[in-house]
A and B are shown apart, each in its own frame.
Chain A
Amino acid sequence: MATVVTDDRISTERRSPRRSRPGRALARRNTLIGWTFILPNFVGFALLTLVPVIVLFYMSFTSWNVFGKAPWVGLANYTRLIDDKSFHTAFLNTLYYAVIHIPLTLVAALALALLLNRKMRGVTFFRTVAFFPYITSIVAIAFVWNMLFSPKYGPINQFLGLLGVEHGPGWTVSAQWSMPAVLIVGTWREMGYYMLLFLAGLQTVPAELHEAARVDGANPWQRFWNVTMPCLRPTTFFVTVMLTIGSFKVFDLILVMTNGGPGQSTLVLSQYIYQKGFGEFQFGYASAISVVLFLLCIVVTIFQFLWNKRRES
């Protein structure tokens, strides 16, 4: 009875070394079948994702410029990063974007989700509206927003004019206002997506808890902080992780809206990688910047996981 023969997934796992012959043959067969399932996807995945990630680290220690061999230069690319002013700008701009974008989108998405998490006529319509920007192409919306932001004749500054702001900001043509403009569009585009995640999370909040809190005399504000938020913790955590990675890699929106400018006011890491790599063909140096972006994402994600774990216990 120790080894069951009809495909027993649990026993394959638990009964270790001393297995009867049919058991072992079955395990081998399972492995084989399992791999045939995974292989078609895995070949592509390994070749186009895993291998490049590994090669990336090697490339960052070379001074390869597309042509010829890739000479090993040790840490030279990394020491160069330390003195590279543009890299500092790109790094700080990425952080600037992330520090504003994450809380702004989080709050907007949560507020929308709370508003839409009730029985009310038209809720589905509003959900659709909020989600729609997320699935439309960046190229089109970036250009539309650029027109809306147009300093002289754009509707946004015309509207500000009605409110009494005489010379509205220059938005995408002003070094000071270009990042806020990008942030507005980024938040506008993504909040509907995170709203959906929050809506899914809100379904898991037990109604009885709210009822009990209400009976105990808690006002809506207290109910929100003491019932809804604790129940939403896993969702909030997940949203934060996704938003963080999303902010660090922001690229296409900026590429189309401002192309990093004016000057370097919206230059971000991804774009700097693109410039060095595909603009100047300094693949080695661009790889070193990529490693920085890679580590930034991984380290922050791990840190968030650990922090979340500590708070859970």
Chain B
Amino acid sequence: MRTRVLGKTVGYVVLAVASIGLLLPFFWMVISSLKHNNDVFTVPVQWFPSPVVWHNYIEIWQRSDMTTWLRNTLLLAVVVTVLQVFTGSFAAYGFARMRFPGRDILFLAYIGTMAVPWQSYMIPQFVLMSKIHLNDTLWSIIALQAFGAFGVFLMKQYFESVPESLNEAARIDGLSEYGIWRRIMMPLSIPAIASLTLLTFVNTWNDYLGPLIYLRSAQNWTIQLGLKTFISQYNAEYALIMTGSVLSVLPIAVIFLLGQRYFVEGIASTGVKG
């Protein structure tokens, strides 16, 4: 009994230290955004800003194109997510419930590409995008993100857990395969759809490499690309940069806290993220 209590205490202490370590960078980010630039680096570190400076949160909008970046990113994230969920779950139904020659080989190709890093084929992909005149448009990022194998894989895993007898019954009742997908499989897969929606949204929001390669003109920049440019432009304005960072992380933090359960379930059930 004594060792049990001791073990528990040690466990808590370890976890507390670990969480401080894990959260410290975020804490630093927030407090720095609430300081004057000169107070960001001090010896010793000023862990609680005094006075609290809110001005950075006004200045950032004037000094940067934050509105454009956020608008572009939001637009991309929404469109990509809708497309990914739709095409992904549609294809997943084909893989999970239809039998036809070549299906398994095709699915293997989907799975196989998950072992291939995007970085290794980004060059031919860029060439292709240029050929169809998509680069430097938001379409390039949509095309890049919306047809991933991940969504197909996640939805297929989930569809396969739905009892086959439901399909049989629906077929006997005269529902077409499309009807089964829409009226039976989709409503039953709300948790999986939620997971896929959240993961795709977050992925698109955070993507830096795709926009870096494809989006040249400033009016197309996403928040990550904009933030990075802002950093290189004003690399000594720490407080302001931290303000931008907080703004880029904040929407994701809110979404994450609201839909936490679905993130965890989505990852646990597939073991893969985009």
Interface residues on B, range: 35 or more
In angstroms, how far is the closest chain B Cβ from the Cβ of A6?
7
**Structural contact, B121 and A56, CB atoms closer than 8 A:** yes
**Structural contact, B224 and A47, CB atoms closer than 8 A:** no
**Structural contact, A38 and B95, CB atoms closer than 8 A:** yes
**Structural contact, A188 and B22, CB atoms closer than 8 A:** yes
Contact of B116 among A27, A53, A193 (CB under 8 A): A53
In angstroms, how far is the closest chain B Cβ from the Cβ of A154?
7
Contacts of B273 in A (CB 8 A): 193
| Candidate in A41, A43, A238 with the most chain B CB atoms within 10 angstroms | A41
Indicate whether A245 sits within 8 Å of B115 (C-beta atoms), given known contacts A139-B224, A158-B45, A196-B268: yes
Q: Is the interface of A mostly helix, strand, loop or mixed?
A: helix
Q: Is A83 an interface residue, CB under 8 A from the partner?
A: no
Q: How far is the CA of A196 from the CA of B168 in the complex (A)?
A: 35
Of chain A, the residue at the smallest CB distance from B140 is A48
**Structural contact, B119 and A249, CB atoms closer than 8 A:** yes
Q: Is A252 an interface residue, CB under 8 A from the partner?
A: yes
Q: Is A301 an interface residue, CB under 8 A from the partner?
A: yes
Q: Is B29 an interface residue, CB under 8 A from the partner?
A: yes
Indicate whether A132 sits within 8 Å of B256 (C-beta atoms), given known contacts A38-B95, A297-B120: yes
Contacts of A12 in B (CB 8 A): 99
Contacts of A130 in B (CB 8 A): 18-19, 22
Q: How far is the CA of A35 from the CA of B143 in the complex (A)?
A: 20
Indicate whether A127 sits within 8 Å of B25 (C-beta atoms), given known contacts A136-B249, A200-B271: no
Contacts of B64 in A (CB 8 A): none
Q: What 1/0 flags go to B238-258 for Cβ under 8 Å of A? A: 100110111011001100110
Q: How far is the CA of A148 from the CA of B119 in the complex (A)?
A: 29
Q: How far is the CA of A231 from the CA of B73 in the complex (A)?
A: 42
**Structural contact, B98 and A49, CB atoms closer than 8 A:** no
**Structural contact, B208 and A41, CB atoms closer than 8 A:** no
Q: How far is the CA of A36 from the CA of B177 in the complex (A)?
A: 11
Q: What 1/0 flags go to A250-284 for Cβ under 8 Å of B? A: 01100110000000000001100110011000010
Q: Is the interface of B mostly helix, strand, loop or mixed?
A: helix
Indicate whether A30 sits within 8 Å of B98 (C-beta atoms), given known contacts A41-B147, A48-B125, A139-B248: yes
Q: Is A211 an interface residue, CB under 8 A from the partner?
A: no
Q: Is A33 an interface residue, CB under 8 A from the partner?
A: yes
Q: Is A45 an interface residue, CB under 8 A from the partner?
A: yes
Q: How far is the CA of A286 from the CA of B119 in the complex (A)?
A: 11
In angstroms, how far is the closest chain B Cβ from the Cβ of A19?
13
Number of A-B contacts (CB under 8 A): 271
In angstroms, how far is the closest chain B Cβ from the Cβ of A191?
9
Contacts of B152 in A (CB 8 A): 41
Q: Is A293 an interface residue, CB under 8 A from the partner?
A: yes
> Which residues A35-68 have CB closer than 8 A to chain B?
35-38, 40-45, 47-53, 55-56, 59
Q: Is A120 an interface residue, CB under 8 A from the partner?
A: yes
Q: How far is the CA of A298 from the CA of B116 in the complex (A)?
A: 7
Q: Is A74 an interface residue, CB under 8 A from the partner?
A: no
Q: What 1/0 flags go to B35-71 for Cβ under 8 Å of A? A: 0000011111100000000000000000000000000
**Structural contact, B177 and A33, CB atoms closer than 8 A:** yes
Contacts of A79 in B (CB 8 A): none
Contact of A6 among B32, B172, B206, B264 (CB under 8 A): B172
Of chain A, the residue at the smallest CB distance from B264 is A196
> Which residues A131-177 have CB closer than 8 A to chain B?
131-133, 135-141, 143-145, 147-148, 150, 152-155, 158
In angstroms, how far is the closest chain A Cβ from the Cβ of B98?
4
> Which residues B75-99 have CB closer than 8 A to chain A?
86-88, 90-91, 93-95, 98-99
13 A-B residue pairings within 8 Å (CB atoms)? A38-B106, A41-B152, A49-B125, A50-B109, A126-B18, A137-B206, A137-B248, A140-B227, A140-B245, A193-B273, A196-B267, A255-B209, A287-B124
